[in-house]
Amino acid sequence: MQLSSQHTLHDGQLSFYRHESTVNQASMGFAIYLPPQSTSKPVPVLYFLSGLTCTEENFMIKSGAQRFAAKHGIALVSMDTSPRNLGLPGEDDSYDFGSGAGFYLNASKEPWSRHYRMEDYVVKELPGLIEEHFPVQPGNRSVFGHSMGGHGALTLALKNQDKFRSVSAFSPITAPTQNEWGIKAFTGYLGDDRTLWRQYDTVELIKSGVAPMPLLVDQGLADEFLTEYLQPEKLLEVCEQHKHPLTMRQHAGYDHSYYFISSFIEDHISYHAGYLHQD
């Protein structure tokens, strides 16, 4: 790992690193905030998955989460949303595919399959690295995210309930197999066989009878992507049909930005603390 920068805030330490990812066969960036409690004992970890175009910096700079992570004694980890600068054809042509748009899946279509393995990175490689090098509790982790990252958090937690104690999301893409963002990404990364797409769709996972892991979702009703891409009504409907535990809070006047995230970030940190500090 190569340390890029380090900052003290709320009596804890925020550090930005780069490292060579084995699963992505590329250089990746991540950030970790260690609360003050970590100087005397290992702490649990909460992973944040960002949305389209974001890097490991956006959440750490804009969310205000560190104050509440320090209060609850929880480490925060964010990571880039894809490998970058690989020279792949079309990787920088659009904001919703390629660089900054890994969709937290393992690509199976060339040339993306050699490098775009964000599912393995989030579930396996990065937690292993964090638990090896930092004062955190092995295996005691939760995950949350925003937009594309909300999609990633929900799907990866539902598929890996032995790896994450809890999950929540801000403005998640709930049914990517049913909108242009998801269809474009899944066709490019996975090919035309739509049966392969279902494992990366929260609504489809719940339809398949996945174990009932509680979901917490916050959604702004002034979100510019609400109807076309986020489709929270589809998640509400499928959870009701399958009796899957869901708390969805819908907020008038809030958009898709970090102004929304920062308004409710304390609630999410407190929610995860309830799971991460269970004996």
63 is catalytic: no
The active-site residue out of 63, 223, 244, 272 is: 223
147 is catalytic: yes
The active-site residue out of 78, 99, 147, 166 is: 147
Would you say 42 and 137 are in contact if contact means Cβ atoms under 8 Å apart?
yes
217-252: buried (b, 16+ CB within 10 Å) or exposed (e) per residue? bbbbeebebbeebbbbebbbebbeeeebebebeeee
C-alpha distances out from residue 35 to 11, 49, 58, 134, Å: 7, 19, 19, 12
Region of 267 please: left (phi>0), alpha (psi -120 to 50) or beta.
Answer: alpha
The active-site residue out of 244, 256, 268, 272 is: 256
Q: Which residue has the tokens 């998801």?
A: 182
C-alpha distances out from residue 197 to 49, 115, 185, Å: 20, 18, 10
Token output for 259:
């102004």
263 is catalytic: no
By annotation, the residues acting in catalysis are: 147, 223, 256
